[in-house]
Structures are given as structure tokens and as C-alpha cells.
């Protein structure tokens, strides 16, 4: 019997399509289909999102993270695609009714990278240097250490940001190392930040395979899950939920397992970098995702209580 195709919804950027093609191959493998049938078994449907179209403003000014997911989620709900591949850090804390983040493959490196044509490290930037950023978290973390810097808006996909940097729109920028690795561009990273000192965005480096509720238990969906990644994400998304994390909250998380303990750092900053609030904690990794999520909630709530109104623009 011929199996209906599993249509994959994806943004059309180079990075999004690399991630979608990885998912396509993984679905074929899970179904026992040969690689040469991938376009039949799991065709990729490119969808342009509002976040792709709007490049001249920060996301927080025009609707937040949902601008990268809204049109793809509509296609899922309408039945035009059967799953969607997202960068997890772009996902709001909650999915729309009827949809679920069903699988998380093994995570790439979650750290941030410093990139510059002229300077070898963040600390080498001269007084008043222009740092290109679109993320409120990266802006706040940078200004917390270097309030002298001028942060300029640098939107666009990875290639666009690297081109703007080369053209002199800024002296340096910060990008997710995961995206550079997936695109074969990691040589551009001049410095990789310590994730304890500069926690990345919740879920950074991880993919989210989103499906309709009815498909969450499908064998091909479950085959894409990576248990250690899911455990870390449970903790980080708990913190995201507690802090109502959006493009208006400069927050970061870092999760790592040592000697059977899942350790979590949750950080939030005033948008202008003038203050920082941090909490750390751990639970036995063997206690699983519910305990990890509860840890994230607890630490995130403590950070929110400490920072209060100073956390958001």
C-alpha cells in the first residue's frame, strides 16, 4: 500500500532548508525508505513567514517570535503540511491549540559566537564600537559587560548578516554557533562564548519538529526524538514559561549534565544591560522531564521576582 507523503513545512532560508533536509532524511530512515525517494516520501514545502519579510525592525516591535512561525503553523492546521521544522529558540513558550512540539532531535552546539572582520575577541572591540544584533538578549549581555558599545540593528539570515558585517555596517556581530556549524561557516567564529557566563537563548541549537496533536505518537515522529536533548529543553522551556520569555525579555539558559545531575543556569537582564539576575539549581537527571521542567519554572520564577518590571521594555 502506498503511504501518503509526509509534507515538511519550512522557511526558505539556507539554514532552514538545511534543517528541513536533515529532517527529511531522518523521516525516510525512520520509515525504512531509501534516500532517493526522499522527495516523494517527505517533500519540503517552503513557506515565507512575516519574520522573513520584515527586516527593518526588531521583532519585539512587530509581534515577536510568532512572526517566524505563524504562517507555517497555519499550514499545519489547514492540512497543507504534516510537520514543521523550526529552530526551537524561535518558538514562543506555547503552541497554538491543536499543535504540539512533538520531537527534538539531537542538539547542536548551543553557544553564541563572536564574529568580526577586524577584531579577534569581544574584549578587543574599541570604545564605542558598533555591535550588530537583533536579539535583545545578546544586546543586554553585551551592554552589561561593555556599556560603551553602540548596538545597531542587524536583521536577516546568516548570509545576510555576514554580508552586512563585511560591508562595514558594524564592527562585529554575534550569531548562534549551531547555525554556523550547520551551514559549514564555523570558520567565521573568532570567539565562542562560555555558556555559563553568557547563557544562550532557551533551546538554542535545538530543532523542534511540530505536528498536529493527532500525529504526536506516530512512530516516525518518535524516532526523531533524542532523550538528552528533550531533558535539557524541558528545563529551559520551563524557565521560558516562567519568565514569559519573548522578544521583550532578555533571558538566557544553560543546561548541562554532570555526574547524573542536570544543572540549569537561568539569567535575565535589563534590556539596557544595566542589571542582571541569575539563579542556578539542579535535579537528578534520572527524574526525567517533569522534574527538569519544574526546576526551570522554579528558577525562572525566582529571576522574575528579583527583576520585576525592570526585565521588559
Q: Is the dihedral of CA 222, 227, 231, 236 positive or negative?
A: negative
Pick the closest to residue 191 from 253, 274, 122, 251 (CA basis): 122
Residues marked active site are found at 90
Q: What angle do CA 278, 299, 137 make, to 5 degrees?
A: 50
The candidate with the shortest Cα–Cα distance to 243, out of 212, 184, 289, 202, is 202
Cell numbers at residue 156, please? 536577516
Q: Using CA atoms, how far apart are residues 270 and 275, in angstroms rounded to an integer?
A: 5
**Rounded distance between C-alpha atoms, residue 55 and residue 277, angstroms:** 31
Strand-strand pairing, 172-176 and 112-115: antiparallel
Amino acid at each position: 500500500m502506498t503511504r501518503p507523503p509526509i509534507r515538511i513545512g519550512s522557511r526558505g532560508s539556507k539554514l532552514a532548508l538545511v534543517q528541513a533536509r536533515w529532517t527529511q532524511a531522518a523521516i525516510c530512515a525512520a520509515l525504512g525508505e531509501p534516500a532517493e525517494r526522499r522527495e516523494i516520501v517527505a517533500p519540503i514545502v517552503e513557506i515565507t513567514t512575516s519574520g522573513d519579510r520584515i527586516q527593518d525592525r526588531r521583532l519585539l516591535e512587530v509581534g515577536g517570535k510568532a512572526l517566524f512561525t505563524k504562517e507555517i503553523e497555519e499550514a499545519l492546521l489547514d492540512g497543507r503540511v504534516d510537520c514543521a521544522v523550526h529552530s526551537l529558540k524561535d518558538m514562543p513558550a506555547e503552541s497554538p491549540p491543536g499543535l504540539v512540539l512533538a520531537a527534538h532531535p539531537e542538539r547542536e552546539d548551543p553557544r553564541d559566537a563572536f564574529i568580526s572582520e577586524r577584531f579577534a575577541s569581544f574584549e578587543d572591540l574599541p570604545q564605542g564600537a558598533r555591535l550588530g544584533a537583533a536579539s535583545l538578549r545578546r544586546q543586554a549581555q553585551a551592554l552589561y559587560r561593555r556599556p560603551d558599545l553602540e548596538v545597531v540593528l542587524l536583521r536577516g539570515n546568516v548570509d545576510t548578516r555576514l554580508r552586512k558585517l563585511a560591508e562595514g555596517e558594524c564592527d562585529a556581530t554575534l550569531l548562534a554557533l549551531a547555525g554556523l556549524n550547520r551551514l559549514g561557516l564555523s570558520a567565521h567564529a573568532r570567539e565562542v562564548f562560555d555558556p555559563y557566563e553568557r547563557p544562550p537563548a532557551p533551546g538554542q541549537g535545538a530543532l523542534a519538529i511540530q505536528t498536529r496533536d493527532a500525529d504526536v505518537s506516530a512512530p516516525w515522529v518518535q524516532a526523531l526524538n533524542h532523550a538528552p536533548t528533550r531533558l535539557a529543553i524541558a528545563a529551559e522551556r520551563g524557565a521560558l514559561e516562567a519568565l514569559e520569555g519573548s522578544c521583550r525579555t532578555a533571558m538566557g539558559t544553560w543546561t548541562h549534565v554532570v555526574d547524573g545531575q542536570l544543572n540549569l543556569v537561568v539569567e535575565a537582564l535589563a534590556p539596557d544591560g544595566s542589571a542582571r539576575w541569575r539563579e542556578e539549581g539542579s535535579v537528578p537527571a534520572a527524574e526525567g522531564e517533569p522534574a527538569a521542567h519544574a526546576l526551570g519554572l522554579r528558577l525562572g520564577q525566582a529571576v522574575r521576582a528579583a527583576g520585576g518590571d525592570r526585565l521588559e521594555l
